[in-house]
C-alpha cells in the first residue's frame, strides 16, 4: 500500500493499478459510495486511478461515467440515468481546454466582460441543474491557458487569456462561498505545482483529449480522492509529533534547551520554526496536536519553554515523553482522545521509529520525513487534513478536547459515577426548534433530499411483439425483454421478421431512462460484435436534427420518425441515419 502514500511513484501506480485494485478490495470496513463523473475530456484512466486512491482511503466506489465531452448535456439535459444512479458525489472534470468564449484582441472591455459572463453562465447552469441530485458537487477550477495573447500583458488586460481565466476562477470561488454543497477541486494549483509545461501535454490533448499529461493522472486523482474522503469525514484528525530533530534540531536531553537548533540562526533552524508555525496553524483550524517523544519529561518540556519557540506545552493535548515504544504512546493518545488510531498522523524523522509505529498500528499514517524542509510539504500535499468547511466548532475543537480531558480527570476523582453527575449540576432547557449551525448540514446536508422532477419523459417505442401489437415502454418501468436490432428487409437471404442469426444483434434497453425534449435515443447498430473503438457510442443520446453521416444507428424513439407516425421497426435504421 505504500505505493499510494504521498510521495508516490506515479509511473508505478499506473503500471500496477490492476494488482493494487485486487489487493485493496480485500480491505475490511470499506464503505460503499457512488461517484458520478461528467467531463469535457477523456476520463477513462482517471476513473481507474481514482478508484485506487478511494479504496486506499476506505471507500469502495461505484462509478457513473457521462459521455465524452458532454458534461453540460449530462447534467442539464439528464435523460434520467444520472438521477437514477443517485450519486453520493458528482465530479465535473473540466479544464481551460473546455473554455469557449475567450477574449479577442479586437474586443472592447464591455465585449470581454460579456464573454466572461457568458462563459460563467454555462457552468453555473450545470451547477444549478446538479442541485436536483441532492449530493455534493465537485468542480475543477481552471488552470492558466497554454498560450497568451499579449505575453505578460495578459495578466492584467481585460482581453488577456490569463486574466480571463483568473476572473472566471474568482467567479467560481464566489459561487462556492455562497453555495453549500458545492466544492472546488483546485486544478489550477496542481498545474502550478507541477509546472504548466509538464501538466498540460498538447500531444495528449490532440491525440486522446486528455486535459492533463497522463503521467500526472495519479497526482490529480490523489488530490481529488483527498477532497472526496473529506466530504465523508475520513480526513485525519490529529498529529502525533516527535520533538528531537523534528520540531527542533538536535537532542534536547544532551544539548539542553539552549543548544537545540531553532530560529533564524541557521537554515535548518528556520525550517524547524516554520514547521512549528504550520502545526500551530493546523491547531487553530481544529487539528489535534500531540507529542510522542523518547525523552525525560522535564527535558522535553524545557525545549518547548524557550521564548522563541512557536509551540509550547499547552498547545498539545497529550504530551507523552518517556522511554517506552512510540507505538505505545500513539495508542495511548488515541485512547485518551477517544478517536481511532487511523485518524492520527505520526511525524518523526527517524525511519526506525516510523516503521515500529506502523508495524504495531498499520493504519497510522507516517510520512517519510528526512529533512526539516520536507516536513510541511509532505504533510500538506499528503492530503491528510483536507477540509471542506471551517466552522466555529472546528476552530474550538482543541479546547473542547481539553475540556473533555479535564472532565475525564475529574470523573476519575469520584468514587462512583452518580456522584460525578451530581457534581456537574447540569440543567436542561426545553424550547422551540432553532435553525442549526452551519456545521449541522456539512458536509452532506443534501444527502437525503428528494430528487426534483425531470422533464416529462418521451416514451421509447418498443419492438413489435409476437402478437403484433405495438407496445410503448415507460422509462420508469424496467425493460423485460431484449431489443432485436436486425430486422426483416435488412437480411435478404433469410427475410423472416427477426433476420438471421448471423446478422442480428441484441442489446438491453437502458433502465430508468427519461429523455428531455428535443433528445432522442439512438444506438450504434451491429450488436456486441462492434469494431474496437465504436462500443462507446452504444446508448449515446443525440439531439434531433444532428447529422450522423456514415453511422449505422438505431433510434428507439418513434417521435423521431416522420413526425411521429408509427412505422415499421425496419425503418428505424434509415430514420436515425437521416437525423
Residue 481: CB atoms within 10 Å: 13
The pLDDT, as a whole number, for residue 400 is 84
Q: What is the pLDDT of residue 558?
A: 38
**Separation CA 506–CA 441 (nearest Å):** 46
Best CA proximity match to 481, nearest among 444, 506, 516, 457: 506
| From the candidate CATH numbers 1.10.10.10, 3.30.365.10, 3.40.50.1000, 3.10.310.10, the one assigned to the domain spanning 238-381 | 3.40.50.1000
DSSP code per residue over 448-487: TPPPPP-SPPPPEEPPP-TT----EEPTTSPP-S-EE---
pTM, full prediction: 0.73
The reply to whether 2-231 and 238-381 are identical in fold is: yes
pLDDT at 90: 98
CA pair distance 111, 200, nearest whole angstrom = 29
- Residue whose entry in the numeric block shows the C-alpha cell 499547552: 314
* CB contact set of 523 (below 8 Å; sequence gap of 6+): 485, 507, 537, 538, 539, 540, 553, 554, 556
**Domain locations in the chain?**
2-231, 238-381, 409-578
Side by side, the strands of the sheet bearing 541-543 are: 541-543, 519-524, 553-555
Q: Are 245 and 74 in contact (CB under 8 A)?
A: no
- Which DSSP string corresponds to 23-53? HHTT-SSPEEEEEEEEESS--HHHHHHHHHH
Residues 273, 378 contacting (CB under 8 angstroms): no
Give the separation between CA 18 and CA 22, rounded to whole angstroms. 6
Cα-based angle 166, 171, 172 (whole degrees, multiple of 5): 95
Task: Provide the pLDDT for residue 534.
Answer: 39
Distance CA(103)–CA(162), nearest Å, equals 10
State the fold for domain 2-231: Rossmann fold (3.40.50)
Give the closest residue to 385 by CA, choosing from 506, 284, 251, 520. Answer: 284
Closest CA to 1 of 46, 58, 47: 58
pLDDT on residue 563: 40
Instruction: Give the pLDDT confidence score for residue 436 in this predicted structure.
Output: 55
pLDDT by 10s per residue, the chain, length 579: 489 999 999 999 999 999 999 999 999 999 999 999 999 999 989 999 999 999 999 999 999 999 999 999 999 999 999 999 999 999 999 999 999 999 999 999 999 999 999 999 999 999 999 999 999 999 999 999 999 999 999 999 999 999 999 999 999 999 999 999 999 999 999 999 999 999 999 999 999 999 999 999 999 999 999 999 999 999 999 999 999 999 999 999 999 999 999 998 899 999 999 999 999 999 999 999 999 999 999 999 999 999 999 999 999 999 999 999 999 999 999 999 989 999 999 999 999 999 999 999 999 999 999 999 999 999 999 999 999 988 887 778 888 888 877 777 676 677 777 777 777 788 888 888 666 555 444 444 434 433 333 333 333 333 334 444 433 333 333 333 333 333 333 444 444 444 344 333 333 333 333 333 333 444 443 444 444 443 333 344 444 444 333 444 444 443 343 343 333 333 333 333 333
Amino acid at each position: 500500500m505504500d505505493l499510494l502514500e504521498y510521495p508516490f511513484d506515479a509511473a508505478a501506480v499506473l503500471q500496477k493499478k490492476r494488482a493494487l485494485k485486487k489487493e485493496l478490495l480485500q480491505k475490511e470496513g470499506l464503505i460503499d459510495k457512488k461517484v458520478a463523473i461528467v467531463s469535457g475530456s477523456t476520463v477513462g484512466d482517471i476513473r481507474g486511478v481514482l478508484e485506487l486512491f478511494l479504496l486506499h482511503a476506505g471507500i469502495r466506489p461505484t462509478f457513473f461515467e457521462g459521455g465524452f465531452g458532454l458534461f453540460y448535456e449530462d447534467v442539464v439535459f439528464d435523460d434520467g440515468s444520472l438521477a437514477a444512479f443517485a450519486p453520493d458525489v458528482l465530479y465535473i472534470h473540466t479544464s481551460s481546454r473546455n473554455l469557449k468564449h475567450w477574449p479577442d484582441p479586437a474586443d472592447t472591455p464591455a465585449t470581454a466582460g460579456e464573454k466572461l459572463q457568458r462563459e460563467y453562465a454555462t457552468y453555473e447552469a450545470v451547477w444549478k441543474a446538479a442541485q436536483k441530485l441532492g449530493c455534493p458537487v465537485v468542480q475543477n477550477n481552471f488552470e492558466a491557458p497554454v498560450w497568451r495573447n499579449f505575453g505578460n500583458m495578459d495578466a492584467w488586460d481585460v482581453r488577456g487569456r490569463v486574466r480571463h481565466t483568473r476572473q472566471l476562477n474568482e467567479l467560481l470561488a464566489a459561487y462556492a462561498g455562497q453555495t453549500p454543497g458545492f466544492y472546488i477541486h483546485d486544478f489550477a494549483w496542481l498545474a502550478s505545482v507541477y509546472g504548466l509545461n509538464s501538466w498540460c501535454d498538447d500531444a495528449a490533448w490532440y491525440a486522446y483529449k486528455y486535459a492533463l499529461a497522463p503521467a500526472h493522472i495519479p497526482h490529480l486523482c490523489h488530490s481529488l480522492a483527498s477532497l472526496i474522503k473529506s466530504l465523508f469525514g475520513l480526513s485525519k484528525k490529529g498529529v502525533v509529533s516527535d520533538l528531537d530533530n523534528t520540531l527542533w534540531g538536535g537532542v534536547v536531553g544532551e544539548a539542553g534547551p539552549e543548544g537545540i537548533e531553532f530560529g533564524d540562526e541557521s537554515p535548518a533552524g528556520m525550517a524547524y520554526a516554520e514547521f512549528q508555525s504550520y502545526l500551530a496553524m493546523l491547531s487553530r483550524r481544529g487539528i489535534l496536536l500531540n507529542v510522542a517523544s523518547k525523552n525525560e519529561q522535564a527535558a522535553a518540556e524545557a525545549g518547548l519553554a524557550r521564548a522563541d519557540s512557536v509551540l509550547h506545552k499547552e498547545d498539545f493535548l497529550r504530551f507523552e515523553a518517556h522511554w517506552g515504544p512510540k507505538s505505545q504512546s500513539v495508542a495511548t493518545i488515541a485512547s485518551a482522545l477517544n478517536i481511532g488510531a487511523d485518524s492520527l498522523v505520526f511525524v518523526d524523522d527517524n525511519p526506525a521509529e516510523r516503521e515500529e509505529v506502523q508495524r504495531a498500528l498499520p493504519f497510522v499514517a507516517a510520512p517519510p520525513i528526512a529533512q526539516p524542509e520536507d516536513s510541511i510539504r509532505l504533510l500538506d500535499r499528503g492530503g491528510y487534513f483536507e477540509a471542506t468547511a471551517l466552522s466555529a466548532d472546528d476552530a474550538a475543537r482543541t479546547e473542547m478536547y481539553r475540556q473533555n480531558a479535564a472532565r475525564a480527570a475529574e470523573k476519575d476523582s469520584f468514587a462512583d459515577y452518580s456522584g460525578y453527575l451530581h457534581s456537574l449540576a447540569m440543567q436542561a432547557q426545553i424550547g422551540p426548534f432553532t435553525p442549526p449551525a452551519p456545521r449541522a448540514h456539512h458536509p452532506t446536508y443534501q444527502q437525503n433530499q428528494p430528487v426534483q422532477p425531470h422533464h416529462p419523459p418521451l416514451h421509447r417505442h418498443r419492438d413489435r411483439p409476437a402478437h403484433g401489437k405495438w407496445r410503448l415502454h415507460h422509462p420508469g418501468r424496467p425493460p423485460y425483454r431484449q431489443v432485436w436490432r436486425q430486422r426483416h428487409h435488412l437480411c435478404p437471404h433469410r427475410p423472416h421478421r427477426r433476420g438471421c442469426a448471423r446478422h442480428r444483434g441484441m442489446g438491453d434497453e437502458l433502465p430508468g431512462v427519461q429523455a428531455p425534449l428535443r433528445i432522442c435515443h439512438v444506438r450504434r447498430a451491429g450488436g456486441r460484435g462492434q469494431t474496437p473503438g465504436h462500443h462507446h457510442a452504444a446508448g449515446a443520446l443525440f439531439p434531433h436534427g444532428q447529422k450522423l453521416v456514415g453511422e449505422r444507428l438505431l433510434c428507439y424513439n418513434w417521435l423521431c420518425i416522420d413526425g411521429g407516425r408509427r412505422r415499421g421497426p425496419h425503418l428505424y435504421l434509415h430514420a436515425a441515419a437521416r437525423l
